């Protein structure tokens, strides 16, 4: 399958595909993050997703948007630069309002250094 072209205009980060459902970001400071697309889809920062995550849509009895598909079905159709500081991801479920700033992506980094495990915190 052909993967969408990645923005190359950021001075903060270098994006590359690891596999068709994993995106890697190499940061300028030497750190590297590998994101599962499903994780990024779930972490969509747009107002609709945030509202839905808080269950407001359900309370009102409306589905704000379709549920994200299963992990290995999550695909990016396009990834567009938004200025130099963010990217917009168009998902294969049609969702496209999420703008991921590099700042936000860095905070999302799922690696052990950025997200210490509960075990580590205990010891
Ligand atoms: Zn969203
Ligand atoms: Zn990290």
Give the ligand with the smallest distance to the CA of 51: 1
- The Cα–Cα gap between 114 and 11 comes to 21
Residue 1 domain-assigned? no
Residue 2 domain-assigned? no
- The Cα–Cα gap between 113 and 37 comes to 20
- CATH number where 93 lies: 3.30.2020.30
Domain that holds residue 58: 13-122
3-state secondary structure of 50: helix
Whether 40 contacts 100, CB under 8 Å = yes
- pLDDT tens for residues 77-107? 999 999 999 999 999 999 999 999 999 999 9
Q: How far is the CA of 123 from the centre of ligand 1 (A)?
A: 37
Bigger pLDDT: 48 vs 60: 48
Give the ligand with the smallest distance to the CA of 41: 1
Q: How far is the CA of 30 from the centre of ligand 1 (A)?
A: 29
Q: How far is the CA of 51 from the centre of ligand 1 (A)?
A: 9
Residue 87 domain-assigned? yes
Q: How far is the CA of 1 from the centre of ligand 1 (A)?
A: 25
* Mean of the per-residue pLDDT values of the chain: 85
Number of domains in the chain: 1
Residue 41 domain-assigned? yes
Residue 6 domain-assigned? no
Residue 91 domain-assigned? yes
Q: How far is the CA of 86 from the centre of ligand 1 (A)?
A: 15
Residue 7 domain-assigned? no
Residue 3 domain-assigned? no
Looking at the chain, the whole-number percentage of residues with pLDDT higher than 90 is: 67
């Amino acid at each position: 399958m052909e993967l969408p072209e990645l923005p190359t205009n950021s001075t903060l980060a270098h994006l590359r595909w690891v596999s068709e459902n994993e995106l890697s970001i190499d940061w300028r400071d030497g750190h590297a993050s590998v994101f599962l697309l499903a994780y990024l889809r779930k972490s969509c920062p747009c107002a609709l997703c945030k509202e839905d995550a808080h269950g407001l849509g359900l309370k009102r009895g409306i589905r704000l948007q379709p549920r994200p598909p299963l992990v290995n079905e999550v695909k990016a159709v396009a990834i567009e630069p938004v200025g130099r500081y963010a990217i917009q991801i168009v998902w294969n479920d049609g969702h496209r309002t999420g703008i991921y700033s590099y700042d936000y992506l860095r905070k999302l980094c799922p690696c052990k250094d950025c997200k210490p495990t509960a075990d580590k915190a205990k010891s």
